[in-house]
Amino acid sequence: MTKAQRKILVTTALPYANGSLHLGHVIEAVQADIWVRFQRLCGHACHFVSADDTHGTPVMLRAEQEGKTPEQLIAEVHRDHAADLKAFHIDFDNFHTTHAPENRDLTYDTYRRLQAAGKIKSKVIEQLYDPVRNMFLPDRFVKGQCPKCAAKDQYGDNCEVCGATYVPSELIAPYSVVSGAAPVMKPSEHYFFGLSECAPFLSDWVHGCNAVDGGPRLQAAAANKMKEWLGGGLKDWDISRDAPYFGFEIPGTVGKYFYVWLDAPIGYMASFKHFADAAGIDFDEYWAADSTTELYHFIGKDILYFHALFWPATLHAAGFRLPNAVFTHGFLTVNGQKMSKSRGTFITARQYLDHFDPEHLRYYFATKLNGNIEDIDLNYGDLASRVNSDLIGKYINIASRSFGFIGKYFDGQLGAPGAGDRQWLDKVRFGDSWDGADAPARADRVIADLYARREYSKAMREIFQLVDIANFFINQEKPWELAKLPQSRARLHEVCSTAVNMFRVLTIYLKPVLPALARNVEALLQIEALLWRDAQTDMAAGHGIGEFRRLMERVDLKEAQPPAVPAAA
């Protein structure tokens, strides 16, 4: 049974261009990348894009502090982000920037569509204004005393001491983080998207199912959040900001800019457009309202609000297609604590890469990731033991105990598995309880289904049960003993050829997680890039393989100390 080729577009959230990537960004990219690679291995057309989210006040102010233009800052950050993502083997078709002509055009186009649909209204509102710096202040740029507990230096939206939430104008003795001046209230005209009218549409949308596999649009926990928000009533959404602002100016206005969260998700379209134009792919096939392709967004739980409310409402009102599903993940914690600079639990992507193998982290994340929204903890001791004892001690060990003999005694040529070996090879391929049927419980099917549902932790457990079967076979046949007996050469050839084939099958199952390792195995085996369906076949007797070399190093926590930055300045 072959399924038709699907056309899929996958995105990760666009990281802000005002700082380095950290391991929280990496876990999202790895989660999405494993999914994308799995779909591609199955032969589907799966495009994968992201971009830097470059607009807004923080980028503008940081550039100013560093004596640069925002354009210079975002170009530097983009270089670093792209290099980090590449080092973790994140296989984007395009990692773009929201400060790009495609994004400007698509943002303007979307805005015009929203205007034509009668969804844009304007209204004068009062906001806190910095009279020294001459700018309106976003909530995060106003501090003062908490109106509930009087704690000092609290942000304009919530108190970190007592947990109270409030609006910035309620702060006692407020001051601007930019200039220190006391802010004043000042009126200004703003543009709003009519989100309040979209509640019935959103409620239908969230309760619908993803047309392709019948799964839900949002995971249960995310759908519950949605229910809360919809139940509480939706307010119109302020999509404009006053100058000075780094972003796209709103057509037909002077000194009004699109709020960064309007053009950021449009950045998904823009990044795809840039790639599609170069690759000769039809943009409209993926984004027109009647598109039959699939669209999935991977995001963290903190930005669900934007992806479950604003974004579908915008797409719908503007006459574009909607996402099939939004896949939300929890937050990465380090040693059970929130990643924080002051606690020394903040780890940048680069700090990790300076000390450790990116595939160790990909594998570790895979052993912890699942389809729900719970937080995930990183602990270096746990990472080291999983990599050393499972990945290297069990999986790589299959190759270490078989490949060398093929080179040494058989001129690098594979033989055929013995008659009794075939059932072991099939157990590794299809699972211990496989009864010869083309059943859904067959291991390759089970693992595929787990990858598709983002249940990577369960997929790793299934795969390692197969790894255990392979090791059981090798322990039972003891190739190292056979090698000592010249009369057992033929048997040694059968056993090692079986083990090499087992290793090849297991490499296919792990390939979405360990793409670089799989590439090295393919080179070693002198074969073409492995696809998912190749797990059903074996290498021919007589096939020549290369000379064995070590495929992966162990994690040594004594050599490399876990990186984490000291308390922030």
Residues at the interface with Zn ion (CB under 5 A): 146, 148-149, 151, 159, 161-162, 164
How far apart are CB 14 and ligand MSP at their closest, in Å? 4
For ligand MSP, the closer of residues 229 and 331 by Cβ is: 331
Cis preceding-peptide flag for 244 (omega within 30 of 0): yes
Q: Please provide the DSSP assignment of 178-212 as one string.
A: TT-PPPEEEEEEEEEE-GGGGHHHHHHHHHSB-TT
Nearest Cα to 515, choosing from 362, 371, 389?
362
Q: Which residues contact 45 (CB under 8 A, 6 or more apart)?
A: 5, 6, 7, 8
How far, in Å, are 52, 99, 301, 418, 469 from residue 85 at the CA level? 12, 19, 21, 44, 35
Select the binding partner of residue 161 from Zn ion, ligand MSP, none (C-beta < 5 to 8 A, by kind): Zn ion
Indicate the residue among 30 and 414 with the shorter CB distance to ligand MSP.
30
CB of 116 to ligand MSP, least distance (A): 24
Nearest-approach distance from CB 326 to ligand MSP, in angstroms: 11
- Tell me how far apart the alpha carbons of residues 385 and 391 are, in angstroms, rounded to a whole number: 9
- Which partner in Zn ion, ligand MSP, none is near 339 (CB below 5 to 8 A by kind)? ligand MSP
Question: Which among ligand MSP, Zn ion, none contacts residue 149 (Cβ within 5 to 8 A by kind)?
Answer: Zn ion
416 contact, one of Zn ion, ligand MSP, none, CB 5-8 Å limit per kind: none
Residue 148 site contact among ligand MSP, Zn ion, none (CB < 5 to 8 Å, cut-off depends on kind): Zn ion
In terms of CB distance, is 157 or 249 closer to Zn ion?
157
Beta-bridge mates of residue 289? none
Between 97 and 498, name the residue whose CB sits nearer to ligand MSP. 97
Residue (195 or 521) nearer to ligand MSP, CB = 195
Residue 140 Cβ vs Zn ion, minimum distance, rounded to whole Å: 16
Closest C-alpha to 412, from 552, 541, 550: 541
C-beta closer to ligand MSP: residue 373 or 387:
373
How far is the C-alpha of 128 from the C-alpha of 184, rounded, in Å? 5
Residue 289 touches which member of Zn ion, ligand MSP, none, C-beta under 5-8 Å by kind: none
Burial track 48-62 (b if 16+ CB lie within 10 A, e otherwise): bbbbbbbbbbbbbbb
Tell me how far, at minimum, the Cβ of 22 lies from ligand MSP, in Å.
7
Q: Are 564 and 347 within 8 A, CB to CB?
A: yes
CA-to-CA dists, residue 368 to 24, 329, 351, 502, angstroms? 14, 12, 21, 25
Smallest separation, CB 164 to Zn ion (Å): 5
Which CB sits closer to Zn ion, 162 or 220?
162
User: Strand 142-145 relative to strand 256-258: parallel, antiparallel, unpaired?
Assistant: unpaired
Residue 300 near which of ligand MSP, Zn ion, none (CB within 5-8 Å, type-dependent): ligand MSP
Q: How far is the CB of 15 from ligand MSP (least distance, A)?
A: 4
Shortest distance (Å) from residue 554 CB to ligand MSP? 27
Please say which residue, 142 or 508, places its beta carbon nearer to Zn ion: 142
149/441 with CB nearer Zn ion = 149
With a CB cutoff of 8 Å and minimum separation 6, the contacts of 401 are 474, 479, 480, 499
**Least separation, in Å, of the C-beta of 157 and Zn ion?**
12
In angstroms, rounded to a whole number, what is the distance separating the alpha carbons of residues 379 and 203?
39
The CB-nearest residue to ligand MSP is: 300
Residue 529: name its binding partner from Zn ion, ligand MSP, none (Cβ under 5 to 8 Å by kind): none
- Residue type for position 449: D
CB of 521 to ligand MSP, least distance (A): 30
Rounded CA separation 409/492 (Å): 9
Q: Which CB atom, from 308 or from 535, has the smaller least distance to ligand MSP?
A: 308
Q: Closer CB to ligand MSP, residue 15 or residue 144?
A: 15
Residue 126 binding partner per list ligand MSP, Zn ion, none, with a CB distance cut-off of 5 to 8 Å that depends on partner kind: none
Shortest Å, Cβ 129 to Zn ion: 24
Helix (H, G, I), strand (E, B) or coil at 154: strand
Of 226 and 482, the one with the shorter C-beta distance to ligand MSP is: 226
Nearest to 556 by CA among 387, 374, 409, 427: 387
Backbone angles phi, psi at 514, to 5 degrees: -120, 70
Please report which helix (H) or strand (E) contains residue 476, including its range.
helix 456-477
294 binds, among Zn ion, ligand MSP, none (CB under 5 to 8 A by kind): none
In 3D space, the residue among 321, 325, 265, 271 whose CA is nearest the CA of residue 296 turns out to be: 325
DSSP state of 512: T
Alpha carbons 349 and 331: distance in angstroms, whole number? 15
Q: Which residues bind ligand MSP (CB under 6 A)?
A: 13-16, 24-25, 27-28, 53, 264-265, 299-300, 302-303, 331-332, 339
Grouping H, G, I as helix, E, B as strand and the rest as coil, residue 158 is strand
Nearer of residues 146 and 303 to ligand MSP, judged by Cβ: 303
Residues in the chain: 569
CB contact at 8 A, 444 and 41: no
Q: Which does 146 bind (CB under 5 to 8 A by kind): ligand MSP, Zn ion, none?
A: Zn ion
Q: Which does 151 bind (CB under 5 to 8 A by kind): Zn ion, ligand MSP, none?
A: Zn ion
Whether 435 and 427 have beta carbons less than 8 Å apart is answered as: no
Q: Shortest approach of ligand MSP to residue 141 CB, angstroms?
A: 17
Provide, rounded to whole angstroms, the least separation between the CB of residue 309 and ligand MSP: 13
